[in-house]
Amino acid sequence: MEINETIKSQYLASLEMLHHAVIKCPDSLWNDCNFKNKFWHIAYHVLFYTHLYLQESEQKFVPWSKHKDQYQFMGPIPWPPHNEPKISEPYTRDDILEFLLMCKEEVDLKLDSINLYAESGFSWLSFNKLELQFYNIRHIQHHTGQLYERLRTQFNMGPGWVAMKHIPK
């Protein structure tokens, strides 16, 4: 298996685990006010950055058609004056599933032709595209783990592990 296919497999496995979490999330947990970062908001944050970092560069990035300004941030906005993001209406489960499917399609489209030794394309990430792929997959898994833990502690359910996704030739 080539490295691009291996990376694609792990992206798709990570996104499939996120998919399991979104599907299994009870309605009562989706927008639960007992959590600073709501379940849907964590899922959206993951997908926003997955989509962003699959692009050639920050200049060529076009947000998802349903993107709402500032919804990608889970804490203060990183540039001055570092205000809290303005988040109002939550995304629906169907919205998140639609965005997730789009990200899976982006993985399929982008990973076959990506130059893994080119610069990341993002001024705040001073490494190459190869490391960017690992960085992005770790980010997906980090937050998916948070969602799995929330499902376990609140509802005693744990979506399963996805080791890899078979990439048909």
pLDDT at 167: 55
Percent helix, strand, coil in the chain, to 5, is 50, 0, 50
Beta bridge partners of 119: 128
Provide the whole-model pTM.
Answer: 0.93
DSSP output for 13-72 = HHHHHHHHHHHH--HHHHT-TTSSS-HHHHHHHHHHHHHHHTSS-STT----TT--TTTT
For each of the chain's 169 residues, which pLDDT tens digit applies?
A: 589 999 999 999 999 999 999 999 999 999 999 999 999 999 999 999 999 999 999 999 999 999 999 999 988 888 889 899 999 999 999 999 999 999 999 999 999 889 999 999 999 999 999 999 999 999 999 999 999 999 999 999 877 788 776 554 4
- Integer angstrom CA distances of residue 162 from 103, 129, 136: 17, 24, 17
Whether residue 142 contacts residue 43, with contact meaning beta carbons closer than 8 Å, is answered with no
pLDDT at 163: 76
CATH of 3-155, one of 1.10.8, 1.20.120, 3.30.70, 1.10.3720: 1.20.120
pLDDT at 27: 97
